[in-house]
């Protein structure tokens, strides 16, 4: 789980997901804005790519219907939300990959 680089508090999984959904990383302990580290941006991109590839693989191998597509989209988003906090690292400075 990520640790705030300002106050060194470790964020819980639910706090991290909450911040990700807002797409702003504001520390719930000190209120300081945090940014994703370069390594974390890279890991999240890899995670998204792998999930997308799995999505395409599964979708081309199942019976195509809007229900299975909907289920697949929900499962993919859930997998990303559940796993992303484990590859999230915070930084005080904004760095782009």
Binding segment for Zn ion among 13-21, 22-30, 75-83, 87-95 (CB under 5 A)?
22-30
Phi, psi of 10 (to 5 degrees): -85, 130
30 part of the interface to Zn ion, by CB under 5 A: yes
Which residues have a Cβ under 8 Å from the Cβ of 27 and sit 6 or more positions away? 4, 6, 7, 9, 11, 33, 34
Closest CB to Zn ion among residues 31, 42: 31
Closest CB to Zn ion among residues 26, 56: 26
d(CA 59, CA 53): 10
The partner residues of 25 in beta bridges, in order of sequence, read 34
* Shortest distance in whole angstroms from residue 85 CB to Zn ion: 16
* Shortest distance in whole angstroms from residue 10 CB to Zn ion: 10
Closest CB to Zn ion among residues 4, 36: 4
């Amino acid at each position: 789980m990520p640790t705030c680089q300002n106050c060194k508090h470790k964020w819980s999984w639910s706090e991290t997901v909450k911040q990700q959904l807002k797409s702003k990383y504001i520390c719930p302990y000190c209120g300081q804005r945090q940014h994703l580290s370069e390594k974390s941006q890279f890991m999240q991109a890899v995670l998204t790519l792998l999930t997308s590839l799995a999505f395409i693989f599964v979708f081309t191998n199942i019976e195509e219907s809007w229900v299975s597509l909907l289920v697949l989209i929900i499962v993919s988003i859930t997998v990303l939300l559940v796993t992303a906090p484990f590859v999230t690292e915070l930084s005080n400075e904004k760095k782009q990959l």
